[in-house]
Structure 1
Amino acid sequence: MGKFENAEKVGLRDKATKKLIAVYPFMAEGSDAEIEKIVRDWYYQQSCQAEDQLLTAYVDVLTEYEIKSRK
């Protein structure tokens, strides 16, 4: 069972602060490695500054609170 299996929403989180950086706006499907690559590639395409942020970020499942606060 993968980390992202059955995840309602995923996004990028800062490794040091654990703060949510961005929410992936689409349904994430595939293996954990595929989802991590898709989310990171999507974020990289959003901004030229994204490359620096990606160095200190990881893909994570959003909490229920984060999901509800984004609706």
Structure 2
Amino acid sequence: MGRFETAEKIGLRDKISKKIIAVYPLKATGSDTEIEKLVRDWYYKQSCKAEDELLTAFVDVLTEQEIKSRQ
């Protein structure tokens, strides 16, 4: 079982600041590699600046506290 398969919520996090860039709104299924591609592709479709942000981002499991602080 992969790291993302059991996660409640996942999203993109900045590699340097560790701040959340985006929370993936759907339940992701598949292997870790498939989920990473799914989340990155979803974010790429969200805005024109996404391409630059994706260069310094990684897919990560988000905590309940992080999700609540973004609402």
- Asked if TM exceeds 0.5, the reply is yes
SS at match of 1:46: coil
In structure 1, the residue matched to 2:57 is 57
- Which 5+ residue runs of structure 2 have no aligned equivalent? none
Equivalent position amino acid for 2:51 in 1: E
Task: State how 1:29-68 maps to structure 2 within 5 Å.
Answer: 29-68=29-68
In structure 2, the residue matched to 1:26 is 26
Deviation at 1:70, TM superposition (A): 4.4
Query: Distance between the aligned counterparts of 1:11 and 1:39, measured in 2?
Result: 7
Give the root-mean-square deviation of aligned CA atoms. Answer: 1.1
Query: Distance between the aligned counterparts of 2:53 and 2:68, measured in 1?
Result: 25
Deviation at 1:44, TM superposition (A): 0.2
SS at match of 1:41: helix
- Which 5+ residue runs of structure 1 have no aligned equivalent? none
Equivalent position amino acid for 1:42 in 2: W
Query: Distance between the aligned counterparts of 1:4 and 1:38, measured in 2?
Result: 12
TM-score relative to the length of structure 2: 0.92
Runs of 4+ deviating beyond 2 Å: 67-71
Paired residues in the alignment total 71
Query: Distance between the aligned counterparts of 2:30 and 2:51, measured in 1?
Result: 23
